[in-house]
Amino acid sequence: MNKLIHFACFTLIAIILVSGTIYVKQLMVQASETKEQDRKPVKEMQEENLKNRVTLAEEFTVLKEHKTEKKPLNKKFTGIIPTDITIPSIDVKASIEQVGLLETGEMDAPSTEDGVAWFEPGAKPGVKGNAVLAGHVDSKTGPAIFYHLKALEKGDEITVKDKQGTQLTFVVTNKQSYPRDKAPLNEIFGYSTGRHLNLITCTGTFDRSKGTHQERLVVYTELKAEEAMQLENEAKLPDAPTNVKISGNLLSWYAVREGNIIGYRIYKKVPGGTFTHIGSISEYERKSYVDKNILNAHYYVTAVNEYGQESAPSSMAK
């Protein structure tokens, strides 16, 4: 490592040491990507029956406001691997490298004074949790990449993107300086129900005996509200249809009152068989399906949204 940088602020991430015994390694479970449990498939047979399904626009007559071709169908957002950061208000534009834990249990630091480091074992930017970026404040030769980080104010925006060009915007909510050995690790690295990105650097008086500054500055940010709402909407499965019943040869149900439903799928099982997808009804059509061979059959209905996500089965009708 560059000894010059090391002398000035290479131990900037000693922020992870608390009372000399607590390390980020102990917070790894909390700091990793969102721990929300993945929903199991509605029915194992659904994947088999529907794996060769035509596109949503072909299956359902889709109204103009549902631009399904632009939606990330059935894809859960898992965050980005950041490669670049931009902070317009303090004229920062830098590349991001991935770092992990040192043998001591501390987070590694950026390898250059002009680069920014992302704590790769922790959360990815964009997921629920606290993603962490770190940068040097200075070196013997002068200011480093995060020298002006303390000038950030509430409402300032920070943009990170990955190599595919996916871009996320975070908004500053708070900033706080802590004594080097008393930073609130869980608040900085731990799990959160929000989508946060925390930036850290050195601040305060330089302690020559320790080879680092006496304090650590943490800038707290959260994903821009509009972007967070979009991710929440994409991740939410639709509700199941209700009041599913059979009257003669007619299967009917109540519509799901959500704005992004594009249609319904009907499933049927005959004695000795398994549930099979037998038809699809677009959202604007009557919520009913005629089956001439309804005797002794069992049915359920699911709702499908514009992201291609399918609800759990409705109650059974027979």
Q: Which residues of 148-174 are buried (b: 16+ CB within 10 A; e: fewer)?
A: ebeebeeebebbbbbeeeeebbbbbee
Catalytic residue among 9, 66, 196, 202: 202
Q: Give the chain's largest Cα–Cα span.
A: 87
How far is residue 102 from each of residues 63, 111, 137, 185, measured CA to CA in Å?
54, 13, 21, 17
- Contact status, residue 285 vs residue 262, Cβ threshold 8 Å: no
Q: Which of 66, 136, 196, 213 is catalytic?
A: 136
**Cβ within 8 Å of residue 58, ≥6 positions away:** none
Distances (CA, A) of 237 to 57, 116, 288: 19, 36, 22
- Whether 9 is a known active-site residue: answer no
* Cα separation, 225 vs 130, whole angstroms: 16
Which of 239, 237, 250, 261 lies closest to 299, judged by CA?
A: 250
- 211 sits in the region (left: phi over 0; alpha: psi -120 to 50; else beta) called left
Active site residue 6: no
Nearest to 84 by CA among 71, 70, 95: 95
Burial per residue of 266-293, b for 16 or more beta-carbon CB atoms within 10 angstroms, e otherwise: bbbbeeeeebebbebbbbeeebebebee
Side-chain half-sphere exposure of 201, counting CA atoms within 13 A? 24
Catalytic residue list: 136, 202
